[in-house]
Amino acid sequence: LPLMSILGEIVDLQHARNHPRFGLHFRNSGEWQNQAMEITRQLDVYAQSLKEFEARYTNSLALGTDNDTAMEGAHINHVSPSGRSNTSTVGSHVSESIVHTRMVVAYGTHIMHVLHILLAGKWDPINLLDDNDLWISSDSFITAMGHAVSAAEAASDILEYDPDLSFMPFFFGIYLLQG
């Protein structure tokens, strides 16, 4: 949801830049750069929150300090008819939770980098290929390419943790195309 809110801001900014009457004034005023910097700041805050999310949930699950896992493990030990702990069930639950957390982080990272690309890059593939304004030699192109490489790395992580792409089957294809 936070990423979709940021996407709405990027779309609004893109529409303002390309408005037939007011776009030229908007581009020349420097206001769009201020808005782009604010959107970039929001994406950076989101990236930091993803790192914190991953660290919090993978470390707590790996150490077994997750309250739900600890309670489940205690419950399994108590109910077990043989009196032995059923650590394989708890261990597989913890492992599954860690993989799920990393999958969420990989998808979030990919979409975040695609939003950086949409903010810095061109949206029309024909204009991108024509390069009439020498965009390929600009700083925004370098920024977009850096995020494209990072999005590709995140896509690799997605394929590792979700090989059948079942977590976000419809939307991921769209973001993969944009990236």
pLDDT 10s per residue in the chain (179 long)? 889 999 999 999 988 887 777 766 666 677 788 899 999 999 999 999 999 999 988 776 556 554 444 434 333 333 434 444 444 555 566 688 888 899 999 999 999 999 999 998 888 777 777 777 787 888 888 998 999 999 999 999 999 999 888 888 777 777 777 76
DSSP code for 161? H
| Sign of torsion over alpha carbons 13, 14, 15, 19 | positive
- DSSP states of 51-95 as a string? HHHHHHHHHHHHHT--HHHHHHHHHHHHH-TTSS--HHHHHHHHH
Extract the tokens encoding 68: 């739900």
Closest alpha carbon to 144 in 116, 109, 178: 116
Q: Number of C-alpha atoms within 13 angstroms, CB side, residue 52?
A: 6
**Are 71 and 77 spatial neighbours (Cβ–Cβ below 8 Å)?**
no
Q: How far apart are CA 101 and CA 95, in angstroms?
A: 10
Single-letter amino acid, residue 139: D
Say what the pTM is.
0.76
